[in-house]
Chains A and B, each alone.
Chain A
Amino acid sequence: MLQQRSLQSSLGIRDKLFSIDYILVVSILILGITSMFAMYSTDGGEFNYHTNSHILRFFIFFGLFFFISLIQVRFWYDQSYLIYILFFILLIGVKYFGLTSSGSKRWLDLYFMNLQPSELMKIGLILFLAKYYHRVSIENMNRVRYLFIPIIALITPLLLVATQPDLGTSILIAAGGIVVAWLAGVRIKFFAYFSVIFLALLPIAISFLKPYQKSRILTFLNPERDPLGAGYQIIQSKIAIGSGGLFGKGFLNGSQSYLDYLPEKHTDFIFTLFSEEFGFFGSVFILLLYTLIVSRIVKIGNLTRSTFGKLYCYSFATAFFIYVVVNMMMVLGLLPIVGSPLPIMSYGGSSMMAIMFGLGIVMSCKIYKDVPVN
């Protein structure tokens, strides 16, 4: 046992490279390159600011992904709490030093980039809870006092982000946390209790919503309510996707996007633009790529022996899936516009950084799949 541990924890670089999941790496790369084409199109078929910086970011964070992969998973396990606390401090920093843009305070100015700590927190919370539930024994799992720490770890960043205000990201952070707790084996009855409490508190929460947030939800329920105000985005997005048809309008020919009907085409609506230009087949291609990525992460979870690794990979895969699905449902008019980027495809450094960081730890789980974390 001891021998095996020492052998495994000191893998040579050749062994490490050998055990990388190349299918996952290639899918990420293909997705990244696809996103560059999409970005090039949003820039009107030129290498302008968005395209250039997106390409640069993708490759920088792709490098980060490799770097993180090659570090032992035990290190990430050990530092999980610290990472969470660091991200938490950044979130508090946003409260005090954040940049305000269109009414919300989400970013920290780091001179070379504007960092959005709430994106990082998506991963930070999963790491934190994965470690926590790794350590809690099965007997203690469902004792009420063991629920306090997870709840606090989840609620505090949630409130910080929600009051930025950034409803979309806070919901996604919460989703990631709930998934970890669910996978770890917390009893369904607790989820039921919390749902009841949540529903009871909902009317109060709604009273805290900003008028534009309320109007988005109402608009979602009935887009025709305000076709040129809040409903504009959903309608335009649906027209763009629908008009793409089977084969799309062709690269750089998305008239909806070119005529500036599409709002936020670089970020939240990048899938719309892609769908318009590449049609049903293009959309399915993207859908398949994401499915492939998610299933590879789940597979790595299957291979990993440690509870931490399993919990982390499964949760990350599920969270990643949720990010994708929420974004797509949003642009397809199935969810209200809450503002959530499409992982890797969307323009945005923090989101890209967080996803690559998360994927890096997944790959680290793969490389060190047989190494116990404690």
Chain B
Amino acid sequence: MLNPGSGNTVIKSKLIGRRMFLLTAAKALVMVGLLGRLISLQINQATKYKSLSDKNRFREWKLAPERGVIRDFFNQEIASNEPLYQVHLVPENVKNLNQLFVRLKGILNISDQKISYLKRLIKKQKPWEPIVVSDNLNWPEFSKINLFLHELNGLEPIVSVARTYPDNSSAHILGYVSQISAKDLKTKKYLKDLSVPGMSVGKTGLERKLDEQIIGKVGFQRYEVNAFGKRIKEIQINEGQAGKSFKTTLDYEVQKYTNELLTDKAAAVCVMDVYNGDIVSLVSSPTFEPNAFVHGLDKKYWNSLITDGKKPLTNKAISGLYPPGSTIKTLVALSALENGIIKPSDTFRCKGKIELHGEKFHCWEKKGHGIVNLRKGIQRSCDVYFYEIARKLGVDRLSETAKKFGLGQNVLSDFVEERSGVVPNTKWKKKFIGQNWYIGETLHSGIGQGYFQSTPIQLCLMTAQIANGGFKIKPRIIFDKNNNSLRDYLKHKYEKPNEQLSTGLLFKNFNLKPLFANQENINLVKDAMFSSSNEPGGTSYRHRMENPKFTFAGKTGSSQIKRFTEAQREAEVKQTDLNYKDRDHALFIAFAPYKDPKYAISVVVEHGGSGGSAAAPIAKKVIKKVLERHDLRQEINYSQGDSA
């Protein structure tokens, strides 16, 4: 009507209408058919399908994969899998096993996969031998079980296969596993297809870092079952995949030894290979029992952990923040030398204190050290000497050197609990505190106090990089056989500088980054550290080791918790007289052997008093232990065909 050629449109519309009518009729028929089908399924055959659904002919059980094993450097398992017992079932005492399981399923959060595992177990063993039922009961479930116990004849305690650790010596670095939480499911993508009830995930430490690879792939079993839920035949099985196992650089023997040394102390120790960055030992004390986390934690134990003032759950070696104290003097000296602020022979007179703008800055030695040069400054740890050079150096140049040597940033990757600490400078203060920098704060920074915050592992890395002659290394905890050539490379460079390097060595050390402008400066610092540990008057002279195989060069440090009042200073109050909480943290860094450095160590003892008396003796023992095992390590580092 409206279009040109409207007659055509009318004819078309009629045709379309006719055909649509036919289609509509067909649709009605189909609808009736669908309705009929629904009536047939949901009304006529509902009973049949209901029973089919109740006793579904096919059951699928998910199989939790076995978690990968973590080994130490010598292939000792330091995190393995073992059965643990919590509730037992004695098949003999059960009238109808399948019924019991169906009943149990109504009460407990118990997976089909678990039940099939149990049934297999029952078939294998004698009817009077108890078997394991559930690996993880929380309080509501447990009370429910008690409530229904009269219907659950044959049920006693609990067992399952789970993570187990040989002891608690490496609890912090390994971390722990526990049940998947709702938050884990939300935040960790790789768990999406992995959620099998009762499965554990890594919460901290290596367990968490490696979780995605170590956790494995879920398998399943599909069975045909009869109307009573009894399995008739296995239809399909996919065993999933056990998680990947890892070999670490840790030495379990050293871990145990160190852990014992630190008993009852709040302390941390880190030992590192100075060339390849292998972390030989990383211990935090007091430790906790990682096995206790696997099946849900006992409330009492948890409370004891979180109320303990020594913070057993914190991995102090990577998350404990301490002012580096006098250990920073190595870098202050290095920075001053590198920037041409001082010559090694330059001297200052230490009278026990200096004054700057009316503020007094004390040396730890009240009497003063007299005339002090660089070597003596480090040997005696003279504060006044470092006040003077810090003042000349300025905090910004110091912070640059400190950052270069690894302070102020994470040392390891993917450890959620690791903290990066603080390397202060003028910009930092402006940004985070919003104030200008005071020269007095430069003096505090020069002796590692004030805003400076570092972790033991950072101090260890710093020491290692000084010890190896000033080259950047990347600390690692997962064994990597193919990256052990820095030592050979440097040896070649020093001993046969004119000979050509093999391409392998050259290629592997292609990215080598020297941290110095003049390597002589590094050697000066190393020499000064030697005198601090091995020459009379040195701050850790008492704990020296004369056997050249073990001789170490170190630096003590103590970081103040509370400023001394003038009255305390006058009264010459000793650290041991103070409250535990007010005592200084004791620090010690060292590398050994002095002539041919192999390992670096850092020790922090919280509220231990002075570095020389509390931390150095521990370092001495650990160094000895590590060096005694050095040849064993080298065998593995240089052996063929032994891979992770």
**Which chain A residues have a beta carbon within 8 Å of chain B's beta carbons?**
1, 4-5, 137-138, 179, 182-185, 227-228, 232, 236, 238-246, 255-256, 259-261, 275, 279-280, 283-284, 287, 291, 294, 298, 301-302, 305-307, 310-311, 314, 318, 321, 325, 328-329, 332, 334, 370, 372, 374
Q: Which of B38-46, B80-88, B573-581 contacts the other chain? A: B38-46
A122 to B608, CA, bound (A): 77
A184 to B48, CA, bound (A): 47
Which of B34, B48, B50 touches A328 (beta carbons < 8 Å)? B34
Contact A239 B2 (CB under 8 A): no
CB neighbours (8 Å) of A287 from chain B are 31, 34-35, 38
- Tell me how far the C-beta of B481 lies from the nearest C-beta in chain A, rounded to whole angstroms: 36
Which of A5, A182, A280 touches B39 (beta carbons < 8 Å)? A280
Contact B15 A185 (CB under 8 A): yes
Contact A183 B39 (CB under 8 A): no
A318 to B20, CA, bound (A): 9
A240 to B16, CA, bound (A): 41
Best-buried of B1, B13, B35, B236 by chain A (most CB within 10 Å): B13
A239-B56, A275-B42, A332-B34 known; A185+B12 contact, CB < 8 A: yes
Q: Which of B22-30, B400-408, B413-421 contacts the other chain? A: B22-30
Q: Is residue B52 within 8 Å, beta carbon to beta carbon, of the partner chain?
A: yes
Q: Is residue B60 within 8 Å, beta carbon to beta carbon, of the partner chain?
A: yes
Contact A238 B12 (CB under 8 A): no
Chain A residue with minimal CB distance to B31? Answer: A291
Which of A241, A307, A318, A334 touches B42 (beta carbons < 8 Å)? A241
A366 to B350, CA, bound (A): 97
Q: Is residue B19 within 8 Å, beta carbon to beta carbon, of the partner chain?
A: yes
**Which chain B residues have a beta carbon within 8 Å of chain A's beta carbons?**
1-3, 5, 8-9, 11-13, 15-17, 19-20, 23-24, 27, 30-31, 33-35, 37-39, 41-43, 45-46, 48-50, 52-54, 56-58, 60, 222, 224, 235-236
| Given A232-B58, A242-B49, A261-B56, 15 extra CB contacts under 8 A | A138-B15, A179-B23, A185-B12, A185-B16, A236-B58, A239-B49, A239-B53, A241-B49, A244-B42, A256-B53, A279-B42, A301-B20, A306-B9, A332-B38, A334-B37
A351 to B386, CA, bound (A): 73
CB neighbours (8 Å) of B27 from chain A are 294, 318, 321
Contact B38 A5 (CB under 8 A): no
A-B contact pairs, 24 of them (CB 8 A): A1-B2, A138-B15, A232-B58, A238-B41, A239-B56, A242-B52, A243-B52, A243-B53, A243-B54, A245-B43, A255-B53, A256-B53, A260-B60, A279-B42, A283-B38, A306-B3, A307-B16, A318-B27, A321-B30, A332-B34, A332-B37, A332-B38, A372-B2, A372-B3
- Tell me how far the C-beta of B563 lies from the nearest C-beta in chain A, rounded to whole angstroms: 54
CB neighbours (8 Å) of B33 from chain A are 334
A279 to B17, CA, bound (A): 37
- Tell me how far the C-beta of B447 lies from the nearest C-beta in chain A, rounded to whole angstroms: 54
CB neighbours (8 Å) of A183 from chain B are 16, 19-20, 23
Inter-chain contact total with CB atoms closer than 8 Å:
135
Contact A228 B49 (CB under 8 A): no
Contact B58 A298 (CB under 8 A): no
CB neighbours (8 Å) of B12 from chain A are 138, 184-185, 307
Which of A185, A227, A240, A311 touches B53 (beta carbons < 8 Å)? A240
Contact B42 A245 (CB under 8 A): yes
Contact A242 B45 (CB under 8 A): yes
Chain A residue with minimal CB distance to B22? Answer: A182
Chain A residue with minimal CB distance to B192? Answer: A49
A242-B49, A245-B46, A291-B31 known; A182+B41 contact, CB < 8 A: no
Chain A residue with minimal CB distance to B60? Answer: A260
A184-B16, A242-B42, A307-B12 known; A259+B56 contact, CB < 8 A: yes
Chain B residue with minimal CB distance to A261? Answer: B56
CB neighbours (8 Å) of A243 from chain B are 46, 49-50, 52-54
Which secondary structure characterizes the binding site on chain B? Answer: helix
- Tell me how far the C-beta of B584 lies from the nearest C-beta in chain A, rounded to whole angstroms: 52
Chain B residue with minimal CB distance to A182? Answer: B19
Contact A228 B222 (CB under 8 A): yes
Contact A283 B42 (CB under 8 A): yes
Contact B56 A256 (CB under 8 A): yes
CB neighbours (8 Å) of B50 from chain A are 242-243, 245
CB neighbours (8 Å) of B41 from chain A are 238, 241-242, 332
Contact B16 A298 (CB under 8 A): no
CB neighbours (8 Å) of B54 from chain A are 243, 255
CB neighbours (8 Å) of B222 from chain A are 228
A137 to B11, CA, bound (A): 10
Contact A246 B49 (CB under 8 A): no
Cβ-closest 9 pairs across A and B = A242-B49, A243-B53, A245-B46, A280-B42, A185-B15, A242-B41, A243-B49, A228-B235, A243-B50
- Tell me how far the C-beta of A308 lies from the nearest C-beta in chain B, rounded to whole angstroms: 10
A124 to B550, CA, bound (A): 82
- Tell me how far the C-beta of A254 lies from the nearest C-beta in chain B, rounded to whole angstroms: 9
Contact B23 A374 (CB under 8 A): no
A240 to B58, CA, bound (A): 13
Contact B30 A284 (CB under 8 A): no
Contact A307 B13 (CB under 8 A): yes
A179-B23, A245-B42 known; A305+B1 contact, CB < 8 A: yes
CB neighbours (8 Å) of B43 from chain A are 245-246, 280
CB neighbours (8 Å) of B24 from chain A are 298
A287 to B9, CA, bound (A): 34
Contact A280 B8 (CB under 8 A): no
Chain B residue with minimal CB distance to A276? Answer: B53
Which of B13, B35, B236 touches A284 (beta carbons < 8 Å)? B35
Contact B19 A185 (CB under 8 A): yes
A182 to B54, CA, bound (A): 47
Which of A227, A242, A311, A370 touches B16 (beta carbons < 8 Å)? A311
Contact B2 A305 (CB under 8 A): yes
- Tell me how far the C-beta of B181 lies from the nearest C-beta in chain A, rounded to whole angstroms: 14
Chain B residue with minimal CB distance to A241? Answer: B41
- Tell me how far the C-beta of B105 lies from the nearest C-beta in chain A, rounded to whole angstroms: 11
Contact B2 A310 (CB under 8 A): no
CB neighbours (8 Å) of A283 from chain B are 38, 42
A241 to B9, CA, bound (A): 47
Contact A307 B46 (CB under 8 A): no
Chain A residue with minimal CB distance to B52? Answer: A239
- Tell me how far the C-beta of B398 lies from the nearest C-beta in chain A, rounded to whole angstroms: 46
- Tell me how far the C-beta of B280 lies from the nearest C-beta in chain A, rounded to whole angstroms: 44
